[in-house]
Chains A and B, each alone.
Chain A
Amino acid sequence: MSRSSSDLQSRQAASRTLVFLRSQLCLEFKLLNHSLLLKVLPILFMIYMAWYLFRPLSNPPYLTIYEAFSYGNMMTVGIAATLGIVLVRRDLMRTGYEWSQSLPLTMATRIGAKFIAGVVYMTLLTAAALFIFIIFSLKHGVSGGVIADRALYFVCGYEISHMISLALAMLLAVCIPNRVVFMGGFIVWIFGTFFIERFVIRETRLIYLKIFSLNPFFQYSGAVNDLWGLTLGTREWMMSLTLLFPLALGMLAISIFLLNRGRPSFRRNPSGWAIVICIVAGLTAAVPYRGYWTEQYDTYQERMEDVSKTHPSSLNGHRDVKDIYPIQDTRIRLTRHKDDSLTAAANLTINGSVLNPAKEISLTLNRTFTVEGVKVDGKTVSFTRQGDSLRIHPVQHAGKELHINIVYKGKVLEFNPGTTNLYEAFVQGSNVLLPQYMAWYPLPGNQTIYESNSSLSLVSLIGLPMELPFTNFQLTAEGFTQPLYTGLNAVKQDGGVQIFEMRKSRGVSLFSGELAEMSNKDKALHVVSAPYEHQSAQAILNSADTVYRYFSSWLPNLKLNHNRLIILGNDMYKFSSEFNSESNYDYLLGSMYPYQQYGFVAEKWLNYAMFGTEKGRFFSEEEHEDVRPQIRSMFWYLYYRDQQKWTDRQIREKVNLYQISPLVNLEGTSRNPGFLKMRKQVAKAIDNDQSTKVKKVLSHFYTQGLEIPLSIEAKHSDFSKPISYADWEKEWKRVMEGE
């Protein structure tokens, strides 16, 4: 046979196949279209999504979206499985439709058409969910780019899970010709959506098994985090898609192979080759997937074994701290390279008098980093590195200042399969999470960074804040693609170099990612938020601005300690939610706060920002000795009475801030009669239009400082001293009775 005639035959065969496929598809669509239930399902699904997303939110928006898609996918996988079974059983497994096998129509065409029709139908459900998601996201002020990214993730996840479910269900129906197949489909659905996540992956912490889950949107996937979840997981997600696609095709090929077994064909069963190709493609895709997870788990395992050697098994969150001393100045130069590795140079200035010259200088630096060299006062010195400990061998300093230079490098991607976020610290592309508690820069003393339990195969960062002395901190960061956010003041953030500094810092965490910053009119207040928290951020900013404008109108020396609030999204990682935890720390919001109580959050923020910490409040032995907590409460009482025009009763009903909780019990449950007298004084003055005088009194004490640190820290703090009740009375009399 000549080549041209052979080509012509091939072209004719291909053309015929396309015609048959189109006709078979039309048939499948017609049959699907006749089902009232199938017509109604996308509408019902849309209603479900709308109900889930638009009901009053009790969780942050992105978490709500994720849950909606997750629970929705459980349902759609069930629909896909049932549809796959019905598509096959309808005619391929019935004797009465045997006539169709005498048509010149291949099983590949029939199965392919059924699969495509099923996928197209399921796309209607995806589209229904997508539509509601877009409306919801726009309502929350999310930018188009972010919506598109998230939409792509959810759509791809839905489509691939539908494809897998359809292909698997069709294969089941081919293998099990009787109605028992529906039971089989049900079991596969339960196992593939619910059981595998709850009882296999969570218990074993073998995250890579999620490739076998029919529902990719489970809590344990890391993608649940609004800010970093998706971008951190992109590489792994792409790898899993390249593995799942041949898996779906492979199952279809097996179905065709089985159906072709009994049916005569001139060619050898071509689907056999298709199965081989799919297996080869799947194995090829599995190599990088396996390599990725092997690397993560090996690193994790290594860390666990290493930590277990130095710290006995414990998971009580307790941090051992030894040999703490103050570091006067901490200057860090941090450089990120294109491969996400970090190099850093830390320059520490320590007053020699706090060190024992006979002993080593203990520092803590995360074991991820390799120390390249240490110099003291310009001279290279020897050091020991063990775990997170860095010990510089004794140096003679005669009580003078020591200048220590430490050069270190490493790559940060702290994988932890024991957490839902999967990553506890990272620098990857524009995503940066370097929490202070991981010791990404040298910290004084010997501190435990990790806790572990080898019998449970768990090791993780201890999320408790570190109790460290203050240091003057300066950070110069280079090579980061997005602005960094810290608790420090930003001095410069352009030209690729970012400089931050702050006097009296006690701990620096770094954040970067898809964060956006918004400010009030006079740029005094800033809120930085994850994409889905912009609306909340704006609401909080507006509430905070109201408070700020009120107080700044009569407090001439109003100073905000923390004028930047960072909202990381629906997950706070291991950061404490309490504003009182530490000073000079970034405060984060997440699902721990009552959601949508923006006024409450704003006031809590401003309470801390204006007055500083009040950690030492509950340790005052005698209330008469120190009425700073009460004075702080008076500011708020004045605000609610003067600005909000609330009555005492309304304050009792509406206000829920613990720092003014005594005001909630306005009938006098306080044990301190002096405090009740203070409140009555202020209330009476306000009632008599003497708010201006009250402001004068409060302003006087504000100037003195109202921060209440713990007593052991007080010596490092020059912000405030205790104010006695007598001091209050004296000033009150002075102002009220005329100067």
Chain B
Amino acid sequence: MIHIENLSKRYRKDTWVLRDIDLNLNEGMVGLLGPNGAGKTTLMRILATLVPPTSGEAVIAGIPLNQPDELRRIIGYLPQQFQVYPQLTGLEFLDYVGVMKGLTDAKIRRAEIDRVIEEVNLQDKAAKRVKTYSGGMRRRLGIAQALLGSPRVLIVDEPTVGLDPQERVRFRNLLTRFSMGRIVLLSTHIVADIESNCRQIAVLDRGAVKLAGDLADLQRCGENRVWEARLSEMEFARLDPASIVTTHREEEGVLCRIIGEKQPVSSAVTVSPSLEEGYLSLLWLESKEGEPEHE
């Protein structure tokens, strides 16, 4: 369990990257959604004990954040940018990380390394130098080092960026398997990454929590706010581009799904929102709340 209370982070005098974050995250896969610059990575880095918060508290698996040396023994972390020493082989690298994670017995360590290598499907490349790995392989090696030692908490920051669809699916499945009996905190701005796996989600925007709940809660954000209409070219051109979710050109016009509080055109009807539409509705709503009212 991760309990976060009033967590804030400031880098410069008035630049708050996170403001009063309150979250309670339970066992299983937890998705952390938000646009770029929302503060997801900062939150991840705080929880991974890379940087201290400016204020607030967090307790991860019963260990408070002010005991980072203890926390580092129970977490695995895969950052967004992941580099490894190219001169080492995968095995050498994992052996090093294994020792650092407390696997001091050589036999136990080797068994654990073999296990995670199998998990990430790197058996064929493990004995080769990292400089021969593709981007996806390096990512898998990254997740392998995070999984080493079976940490109670796994923190992965946008792990599927740059991966092809097949790799992305493999990753999701791997994380789902690992999340049984553990917390996996996965940050992403791709809704599909959390669609099938996450029990809980939190949405961050501009350093604050906009939604904390489950997938249904996110989807509900789009209720009565997602419209579908077949529009002429002229009508389509008059629409606010930010409100258009999908477009599909047909012979009769353009079939659009549009986000908005009001009916955008007379022919528009409300539809049942998808998860992504719920997410976009939430962000759209937040952006509108910040704007001054126009007549």
Contact = CB atoms under 8 A, between A and B. Distances in A.
Interface residues of B, number: 37
16 contacts: A23-B100, A27-B85, A27-B88, A31-B85, A94-B83, A96-B81, A99-B78, A99-B79, A99-B146, A101-B50, A103-B97, A104-B102, A262-B52, A264-B65, A264-B68, A265-B69
Contacts of A101: 49-50
Interface in B18-41: none
B73 interface: yes
Contacts of B83: 94, 96-97
B51 A266 contact: no
A90 to B, nearest CB: 8
Contacts of A701: none
A31 B89 CA distance: 11
Contact of B88 (A30, A94, A262, A267): A30
Contacts of B92: 30
Contacts of A30: 87-88, 92
Contacts of A467: none
Contacts of B101: 103-104
Contact of B72 (A26, A95, A102): A102
Given A103-B72, A104-B102, A31 B96 contact: no
B65 to A, nearest CB: 7
A379 interface: no
B118 interface: no
A91 interface: yes
A264 B58 CA distance: 13
Residue from A16, A23, A91, A103 whose CB has the most chain B CB atoms within 10 Å: A103
A654 interface: no
A31 B78 CA distance: 22
A105 interface: yes
Interface string A264-289: 11110000000000000000000000
Shortest 6 CB-CB distances between A and B: which pairs? A96-B83, A34-B87, A102-B77, A104-B72, A264-B68, A23-B99
Interface residues of A, number: 27
A606 B84 CA distance: 74
B67 interface: yes
Contacts of A26: 96
Contacts of B55: none
Contacts of B82: 96, 99
A19 interface: yes
B100 A266 contact: no
Contact of A98 (B50, B72, B99, B100): B50
A263 interface: yes
A264 B104 contact: no
Given A31-B87, A104-B69, A266-B66, 12 more contacts: A20-B100, A27-B88, A31-B85, A96-B83, A97-B83, A99-B79, A102-B75, A102-B76, A263-B49, A264-B50, A264-B65, A265-B68
B214 interface: no
Chain A CB count within 10 A is highest, among B45, B67, B81, B99, for: B99
A102 B49 contact: yes
A265 B68 CA distance: 6
B96 A263 contact: no
A19 B68 CA distance: 20
Given A266-B66, A266-B67, A99 B77 contact: yes
B48 interface: yes
Interface string A92-136: 001111110111110000000000000000000000000000000
B81 A98 contact: yes
B51 A91 contact: no
B69 A95 contact: no
Contacts of B240: none
B142 interface: yes
Contacts of B79: 95-96, 98-99
A551 B242 CA distance: 115
Nearest to B46: A264
Interface in A13-60: 16, 19-20, 23, 26-27, 30-31, 34
Interface string B235-277: 0000000000000000000000000000000000000000000
B85 A19 contact: no
B52 A264 contact: yes
A99 B51 CA distance: 12
A91 B85 contact: yes
Contacts of A98: 45, 50, 79, 81
B200 interface: no
A23 B45 CA distance: 25
Nearest to B98: A23
Contacts of B286: none
A99 B142 contact: yes
B195 interface: no
Most A CB within 10 A of own CB, among B49, B67, B78, B142: B49
B270 to A, nearest CB: 45
Contact of A263 (B51, B75, B97, B104): B51
Given A99-B79, A99-B142, A104 B88 contact: no
Nearest to B96: A27
Contacts of A263: 49-51, 68
A102 B49 CA distance: 6
Nearest to B47: A102
B272 to A, nearest CB: 41
Contacts of B104: 19
Of listed A27, A95, A265, A267, residue having the most chain B CB within 10 A: A27
Contacts of B48: 102
Interface in A256-314: 262-267
A96 B157 CA distance: 12
Interface in A588-621: none
B26 to A, nearest CB: 22
B145 interface: yes
Contacts of B45: 98
A263 B49 CA distance: 7
Given A104-B69, A104-B101, A23 B96 contact: yes
B51 A262 contact: yes
Q: Which of A31, A264, A265 has the most CB of B within 10 A?
A: A264
A139 to B, nearest CB: 41
A266 B88 CA distance: 32
A266 B69 CA distance: 6
A264 to B, nearest CB: 4
A262 B49 CA distance: 10
Nearest to B95: A23
Contacts of B142: 99
Interface in B103-132: 104
Given A30-B92, A263-B50, A99 B145 contact: yes
Nearest to A97: B83
A96 B92 CA distance: 18
B202 to A, nearest CB: 21
A34 B97 CA distance: 19
Contacts of A267: 69
A95 B104 CA distance: 28
Nearest to B155: A102
Given A30-B87, A30-B88, A30-B92, A102 B50 contact: yes
Contacts of B77: 99, 102
Contacts of A262: 51-52
